[in-house]
Amino acid sequence: MPWYGLLVLAIGLAGLGLVILGVAALAQGAGRLSPSILPQLHLWFMALELASAILFCLAVLTLLRGTYGGSEADDGGLQALEQALAAQPHLILTLGPDGRALSAYGTVPEGISLDGLFDIGLVGAAGQADQAALQMAIDAASWDGQGRAGFSPRHALHAYAVVDLRRLEDGRLAAILRNASLEHSNEVRLETARIEADEMNAGKSRFLANMSHELRTPLNAIMGFSDIMRTQMFGPLTGKYAEYVELIHESGRHLLDLINDVLDMSKIQAQRYELTREIFDIREPVSAALRLLRVQADEAGVKLRGSLPAGLIEANADRRALKQIVINLVSNAIKFTPAGGQITVTVQTYGDVLDLSVIDNGIGISAEDLSRLGRPFEQVGDTTRQIGGTGLGLSLVRAFAELHGGEMIIESRLGEGTAVTVRLPVLDVAPLSPPQPETASEARANVVAFPGGRQS
């Protein structure tokens, strides 16, 4: 490829990098770009800029080969070379050890005086706040062979430039100085948007925590008085009144569960949730959760069974959080398991790790929806199945697991069922492998069955 073709390609790549940053800024402003993608876009931009610089150097070398084909310089070739250097989009410099320019070719970035680079040097061209960083980059290039710094010019603090430095064999420094005002402006805008989004999210979490607390206070009174009426403590209730009290109590319990979920999640997001660790038998909260959910499973026509080890399993964990993990996982499984299905809760130990698994043969989860599970207020699957709840169940399970230093693992196939495993490093003393029953009778004794359906 001729030298001018390489030069055009180098300019095109530099322009493409700026276009990528511009599109990223627009996408971020519209809320369509995740903050986690920004470092990747920045790497792509730097790669394009580096490729542009390499292609430019190749263009210069190609031109030099064509210009100095003989022993004597061709005046026309030298003139063409100088024109190419002057037309390229960056400023190419050679610097002395003191940072003053010895030669310069190309486009001078906004706010920088070319004469000033020769008189007061590169450091003097920067604003006072950036001079120390720029001097460190020059020192790094002199000692380590390369350096890089960004700075605002002293005569145009709204502008921004970036310089890449390399040490030459004779001790001089080669530098590429480019205008990075648009890039820097986009980075500042994106960082500002990220900070504002974090502040808004933290404010939302604080609001939800406060509101959930305020709602729970009168709801506790409703639950208490309806419970007194439901038990007919001060006399019998007749006809519809008894039925209505049951409905009030049931609805209040459901609403209290939703509020507790929102309160827990808002505390976790606001980093105000603290685990209350204690040493206890892990089977106790698991069995208690299964007893609470037996009625719900019976009403849904689902068989609920628990397979728990026969021996004591001591854990150092938050008892309430562990019980909530089981309740959330089993409740979720009941919702999405048709009548006649089965849900199995198992507990296994490996060294200091506890594996708590909830396995169902329900409707399963599609591969597309699996990536969305665990996000707060997110419900997946068929909209006709998105009944009840706040979409916080799995996100709370994941949060509780991570607070314990563990993880949540989901495996599912559409139409075949789902298996959710919570892995927690909470065991003080445990066997190196899962306990195996010695006989078939012992194995049956370790299974706690909760038959589905109602007995006639």
* Confidence band for 107, pLDDT divided at 50, 70 and 90: confident
87-91-95 Cα angle (round to 5): 140
What is the rounded average pLDDT for all residues in the chain?
A: 76
| Residue 252 included in any domain | yes
Report which secondary-structure segment, H or E, holds 297: helix 283-300
CATH code for the domain of 217: 1.10.287.130
Q: Are residues 217 and 328 in the same domain?
A: no
Coil/strand/helix, residue 158 = coil
Last-in-domain residue among 228, 243, 269: 269
| Residue 437 included in any domain | yes
CATH code for the domain of 381: 3.30.565.10
| Residue 398 included in any domain | yes
* Confidence band for 165, pLDDT divided at 50, 70 and 90: very high
235 contacts: CB under 8 Å, gap ≥ 6: none
Dist CA 6 CA 57 (whole Å): 9
Model confidence over 404-429: pLDDT tens digits?
A: 999 999 888 888 889 999 999 998 64
pLDDT score for 20: 64
Q: Dihedral angle at the C-alpha atoms of 95, 98, 101, 102, nearest 10 degrees?
A: -70
pLDDT score for 434: 47
Nearest in space to 333 (alpha carbons), one of 372, 389, 284, 376: 389
Q: Are residues 320 and 444 in the same domain?
A: yes
The string of DSSP letters for 139-150 reads HHHHHHSEEEEE
177 has a pLDDT exceeding 80: yes
Residues of the domain holding 216: 188-269
Last-in-domain residue among 269, 286, 321: 269
Whether 194 and 25 have beta carbons less than 8 Å apart is answered as: no
What total of structural domains would you count in the chain? 2
Of the two residues 280 and 70, the one the predictor is more confident about is 280
pLDDT over 90 percentage in the chain: 21
Q: Are residues 346 and 398 in the same domain?
A: yes
| Residue 221 included in any domain | yes
* Confidence band for 342, pLDDT divided at 50, 70 and 90: very high
Q: Are residues 303 and 436 in the same domain?
A: yes
204 contacts: CB under 8 Å, gap ≥ 6: 266
| Residue 88 included in any domain | no
Last-in-domain residue among 252, 269, 286: 269
Q: Are residues 198 and 306 in the same domain?
A: no
17 has a pLDDT exceeding 80: no
Mean pLDDT across the stretch 24-53?
59
Of the two residues 21 and 198, the one the predictor is more confident about is 198
Q: Are residues 265 and 282 in the same domain?
A: no
DSSP state letter for 430: -
Q: Are residues 320 and 387 in the same domain?
A: yes
pLDDT score for 73: 45
Q: Are residues 258 and 402 in the same domain?
A: no
Report which secondary-structure segment, H or E, holds 382: none
Q: Are residues 424 and 328 in the same domain?
A: yes
Model confidence over 305-338: pLDDT tens digits?
A: 998 988 889 999 999 899 989 988 998 899 889 9
Q: Are residues 259 and 286 in the same domain?
A: no
* Confidence band for 370, pLDDT divided at 50, 70 and 90: low
Q: Is 381 exposed, middle or buried (0-12, 13-18, 19+ CB in 10 A)?
A: middle
The string of DSSP letters for 72-137 reads S--HHHHHHHHHHHHHSSSEEEEE-TTS-EEEEEEPPPTT--HHHHHHTHHHHTB-GGGHHHHHHH
Model confidence over 258-272: pLDDT tens digits?
A: 777 777 777 776 666
